[in-house]
Amino acid sequence: MTNLFALWVVLGSIWAIVAPEQITWFRPWIPLALGVVMLGMGLTLRWQDFGEVVKQPVSVLIGVTAQFVIMPSLAFLFAKLFRLDPAFALGLILVGCCPGGTASNVIAYLSGAHVPLSVLMTMTSTLVSVVMTPVLTFWLGGIAVGGDLLKMIGDMILIVLLPVVGGMMLNFFFPSLIDSVGKTISPFVSVLAVTLIVACIVALNLEKLKTHWQTLLLVILLFDLAGFALGYVVARLLRQSERFCRTVSIEVGMQNSGLAVALAQRHFASNAAVSVPGAIAAVYHCLLGSLIATVWRRIPPRSGH
pLDDT band of residue 93 (cuts 50, 70, 90) is very high
Are 199 and 12 in contact by the 8 Å Cβ rule? The answer is: yes
Helix crossing, 185-204 with 5-18: angle to 10°?
30
Q: Provide the pLDDT for residue 257.
A: 83
Q: Give the start-to-end residue ranges of the domains of the chain.
A: 27-297
- Pairwise CA distance, residues 258 & 281, whole Å: 9
Which amino acid makes up residue 136? L
Q: What is the pLDDT of residues 162-184, one digit of tens each?
A: 888 888 888 888 877 777 666 66
Over pLDDT 70: what percentage of the chain? 91
- Pairwise CA distance, residues 142 & 208, whole Å: 23
Q: Which CATH number fits domain 27-297: 1.20.1530.20, 3.40.50.2000, 1.10.150.20, 3.40.50.2300?
A: 1.20.1530.20
- Candidate from 43-52, 141-150, 195-204, 294-303 with smallest mean pLDDT: 141-150
- Pairwise CA distance, residues 240 & 251, whole Å: 15
pLDDT band of residue 185 (cuts 50, 70, 90) is confident
Whole-angstrom distance between the N-terminal and C-terminal Cα of the chain?
Answer: 33
Q: Provide the pLDDT for residue 53.
A: 63
Q: What is the pLDDT of residues 232-264, one digit of tens each?
A: 999 999 888 888 899 899 999 988 888 888 888
Region 122-139: mean pLDDT is 89
- Residues 238, 109, 224, 68, CA torsion sign: negative
Q: Looking at beta carbons, which pairs linking 178-182 to residues 24 or more positions away fall under 8 Å? A: 178/43, 181/43, 182/40, 182/43, 182/44
Query: What's the predicted TM-score (pTM) here?
Result: 0.82
> What is the SS3 string spanning 273-288?
HHHHHHHHHHHHHHHH
Q: What is the pLDDT of residues 29-71, one digit of tens each?
A: 888 887 887 787 777 777 776 676 667 788 888 888 999 999 9
**Half-sphere CA count of 204, side-chain side, radius 13 A:** 27
